[in-house]
C-alpha cells in the first residue's frame, strides 16, 4: 500500500549539522516543515536554522532515540553516520536514503566493489591492509597511483600519491602507508582525466527519477573550486553519465538525492570516482539555476512528494569560498599574517548576478568551506568567469579602488 506523503508541518530530522544540512533546513522551513538536527556541535550551521538542535555525540544512542522519536523522517547530510546511529534512528522513523546506501558510500572499498558488481566503470584498484599488500598492489596497478583510506576521507584528506620513478618504490610505499596512519585503504590507479564531472540525481519513494544533468567541476588542492552547469560535454557522454547515475540510485534503492562524481578521459570515457548519498557541493548552483533545487528535491523525495521540475532557468556557475579568504597573505609564500572578513561589498559589486551564501561557521580555517557564490549567465563559461572574478575581489582591502 502506498504511504501518504509527509506534509508540512511534519518534522524533518537531519543527522549532521554542516552547510548541506543548513541548506536542506532552509528549503524545509520555506515549505513550512519543522527541522530537528542532531550533531555533537552547538549553534552549528544547521542548528542556526533548525527548530530544535540536539547536541550529543553520534554514539550516544539514548540521545539518538530521543531525537528520532521527535521527528517524522530522518535523513543525513554526511555519509559517515555510524551504523548504530542509523539503525537506531530507523527504529523510530523512516531513514532516507536507507542503510544500504550509507553502508556502501561510507567505505571506498565497498563502493568500488559495488560498482564492479553492477558493471559500472571505475579505475583499477586493489584493497590494501598492510605495507606488504600495498607493495603487491603497486606491482599490479603500477604508478602513478593514489592510496586512499577506505573510510572518512573528504576534500582529499586521507590520500597519498605515489609517483614515478619506481627506483625507490619501497621507501615511497612506506611513506604513503605512514601518511595514512596504516589505516585500511584502497590503492587506485591515477586517472589522467581531462575533466571531472558530476551528476546530482534523485529517486522518489515511488521509484521516479529526476536529475540535474552533467555538472563540470574544477578542483584546487583536491577541493571543489568551481562548478559549471550544464557541463559542455557531448550529448552521448551526458546520456551515459545520467544512465550510470540512475543505475546507482536504483541498485542502492535510494530514496533521496545522490551524487555521482566522474572522471572524463580525453577519449570520452567516463569512470565513476565516488558517490555521495546526499546533496552535493557541485549541486549548490541548483538553488538559483533550477526550477527545483537539490535541497528541495531531497525534501520532496524523503517526504514521499512528487519530485520537482529540474529544468535550468539559465546556465550557472558556483565558486566555493574557503576559509583562506579570511586571511591576508602578504606574499604567496608567507605564513598567514592576519585575519579579517572578506570584502563582501566588492564581491557583490562585481556583477548584479552574483548571489552570496555564507554558512554561519564561527571560525575560518584554511581549506574550510565557509560559503559559496553563484551566478546565472547566458553560458556556463560566462557564469564561471563572473564567479571567479567576483571571488577574486574578496581580498580587496577596504579603501582600495576596484
Ligand atoms: N584516481 C585518481 N586519479 C586522479 N585524480 C584523482 C584520483 N582520485 C582522486 N583524485 C583527485 O582528488 C580529488 C578528491 O578525491 P576523491 O576520491 O573524490 O575524495 P574526496 O572528495 O572524498 O576527498 C578528486 O576530485 C580528483 O581531483
Ligand atoms: Mg570527491
Position 153 scores a pLDDT of: 87
Residue nearest to atom 20 of ligand 1 (CA): 154
Give the contacts of 119 (CB within 8 A, at least 6 positions apart).
none
- Topology of domain 195-395 in CATH is D-amino Acid Aminotransferase; Chain A, domain 1 (3.30.470)
Q: If you measure from the C-alpha of residue 155 to the centroid of ligand 2, how many angstroms do you get, rounded to a whole number?
A: 6
5's torsion region: left (phi>0), alpha (psi -120 to 50) or beta?
A: beta
**363 or 166: which leads in pLDDT:** 363
Structure confidence at residue 330 (pLDDT): 57
- The average confidence (pLDDT) of the chain is 95
In angstroms, rounded to a whole number, what is the distance separating the alpha carbons of residues 49 and 343?
25
220 lines ligand 1 (CB under 6 A): no
Cα(363) to centroid(ligand 1), Å: 26
Percentage of residues of the chain with pLDDT beyond 70: 96
CB-ligand 1 contact for 124 (6 Å cutoff): no
**Predicted local confidence at residue 268, as pLDDT:** 95
Q: Rounded mean pLDDT of 88-115?
A: 97
pLDDT tens digits for range 131-158:
999 999 999 999 999 999 999 888 889 9
pLDDT of residue 357: 98
pLDDT in tens, 316-367: 999 999 999 998 765 555 555 567 889 999 999 999 999 999 999 999 999 9
Task: Give the pLDDT mean for 362-381.
Answer: 96
Could you report the per-residue pLDDT of 279-313, keeping only the tens digit for each?
999 999 999 999 999 999 999 999 999 999 999 99
According to the model, what pLDDT value does residue 29 have? 98
- The verdict on the CB of residue 191 being under 6 Å from ligand 1 is yes
**Digit-coded pLDDT (tens) for 75-86:** 999 999 999 999
What pLDDT does residue 329 have? 63
Instruction: Quote the cell numbers at residue 61.
Output: 544512542
Give residue 185 CA to ligand 2 midpoint distance, Å: 16
- Provide the residue ranges of all domains of the chain, joining segments of one domain with +: 11-95, 124-189, 195-395
Is the predicted pLDDT of residue 128 greater than 90, yes or no?
yes
Task: Write the pLDDT tens digit of every residue in 170-204.
Answer: 999 999 999 999 999 999 999 999 999 999 999 99
In this structure, CATH architecture of domain 11-95? 3-Layer(aba) Sandwich (3.40)
> For ligand 1, is residue 156 a contact (CB within 6 Å)?
yes
**Ligand closest in space to the Cα of 263:** 1
CA–centroid distance, 217 to ligand 2, in Å, is 10
Nearest to 220 by CA among 387, 367, 395, 389: 367
The arithmetic mean of pLDDT across residues 208-213, rounded, is 98
Residue with cell 530544535: 52
Could you give the C-alpha distances from 182 to 111, 171, 209, 243, in angstroms and in order?
A: 20, 15, 40, 37
Are 109 and 117 in contact, with CB atoms under 8 Å apart? no
Strands (E), 221-359: 223-229, 256-264, 270-276, 316-322, 327-328, 338-339, 355-358
**For residue 216, how far is its CA from the centre of ligand 2 (angstroms)?**
13
Residue 89 to residue 56: CA distance in whole angstroms:
14
Rounded CA-CA distance 182/179 in Å is: 8
**Residue scoring higher pLDDT (166 or 237):** 237
Binding site membership of 155 for ligand 1 (Cβ less than 6 Å):
yes
Using most ligand atoms within 8 A of CB, pick from 188, 189, 222, 266 the residue to mutate for ligand 1: 222
pTM (two decimals): 0.96
Residue nearest to atom 26 of ligand 1 (CA): 222
CATH number among 3.40.50.300, 1.25.50.10, 3.40.50.410, 3.30.1490.20, domain 124-189: 3.30.1490.20
- Residues linked to residue 263 through DSSP beta bridges, in sequence order: 196, 271
The SS3 assignment for 216 reads: strand
Distance CA 263, CA 273 (A): 6
Question: Residue 165 — pLDDT band, cuts 50, 70, 90?
Answer: confident
Amino acid at each position: 500500500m502506498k504511504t501518504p506523503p509527509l506534509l508540512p508541518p511534519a518534522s524533518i530530522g537531519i543527522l549532521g549539522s554542516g552547510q548541506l544540512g543548513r541548506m536542506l533546513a532552509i528549503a524545509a522551513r520555506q515549505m513550512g516543515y519543522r527541522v530537528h538536527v542532531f550533531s555533537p556541535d552547538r549553534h552549528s550551521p544547521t542548528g542556526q536554522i533548525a527548530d530544535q538542535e540536539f547536541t550529543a555525540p553520534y554514539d550516544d544512542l539514548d540521545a539518538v532515540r530521543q531525537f528520532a522519536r521527535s521527528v517524522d523522517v530522518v535523513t543525513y547530510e554526511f555519509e559517515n553516520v555510524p551504523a548504530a546511529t542509523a539503525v537506531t534512528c530507523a527504529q523510530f522513523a523512516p531513514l532516507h536514503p536507507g542503510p544500504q546506501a550509507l553502508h556502501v558510500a561510507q567505505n571506498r572499498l565497498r563502493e568500488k566493489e559495488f560498482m564492479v558488481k553492477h558493471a559500472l566503470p571505475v579505475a583499477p584498484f586493489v584493497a590494501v591492509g598492510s605495507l606488504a599488500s600495498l607493495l603487491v598492489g603497486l606491482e599490479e596497478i603500477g604508478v602513478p597511483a593514489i592510496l586512499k583510506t577506505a573510510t572518512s576521507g573528504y576534500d582529499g584528506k586521507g590520500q597519498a600519491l605515489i609517483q614515478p620513478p619506481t627506483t625507490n618504490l619501497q621507501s615511497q610505499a612506506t611513506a604513503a602507508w605512514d601518511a595514512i596512519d596504516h589505516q585500511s585503504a584502497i590503492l587506485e590507479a591515477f586517472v589522467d582525466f581531462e575533466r571531472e564531472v558530476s551528476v546530482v540525481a534523485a529517486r522518489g519513494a515511488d521509484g521516479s527519477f529526476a536529475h540535474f544533468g552533467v555538472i563540470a567541476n574544477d578542483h584546487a588542492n583536491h577541493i571543489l573550486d568551481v562548478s559549471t552547469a550544464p557541463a559542455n560535454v557531448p550529448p552521448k557522454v551526458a546520456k551515459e553519465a545520467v544512465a550510470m547515475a540512475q543505475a546507482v540510485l536504483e541498485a542502492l534503492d535510494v530514496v533521496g538525492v545522490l551524487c555521482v562524481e566522474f572522471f572524463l578521459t580525453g577519449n570520452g570515457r567516463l569512470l565513476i570516482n565516488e558517490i555521495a548519498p546526499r546533496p552535493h557541493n557541485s549541486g549548490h548552483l541548483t538553488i538559483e539555476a533550477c526550477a527545483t533545487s537539490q535541497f528541495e528535491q531531497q525534501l520532496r523525495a524523503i517526504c514521499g512528494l512528487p519530485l520537482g521540475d529540474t529544468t535550468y532557468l539559465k546556465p550557472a556557475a558556483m565558486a566555493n569560498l574557503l576559509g583562506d579568504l579570511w586571511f591576508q597573505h602578504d606574499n604567496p609564500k608567507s605564513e598567514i599574517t592576519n585575519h579579517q572578513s572578506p570584502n563582501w561589498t566588492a564581491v557583490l559589486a562585481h556583477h548584479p548576478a552574483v548571489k552570496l551564501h555564507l554558512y554561519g561557521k564561527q571560525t575560518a580555517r584554511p581549506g574550510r568551506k565557509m560559503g559559496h557564490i553563484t551566478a546565472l549567465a547566458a553560458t556556463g563559461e560566462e557564469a564561471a568567469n563572473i564567479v571567479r572574478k567576483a571571488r577574486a575581489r574578496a581580498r580587496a582591502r577596504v579603501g582600495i579602488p576596484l
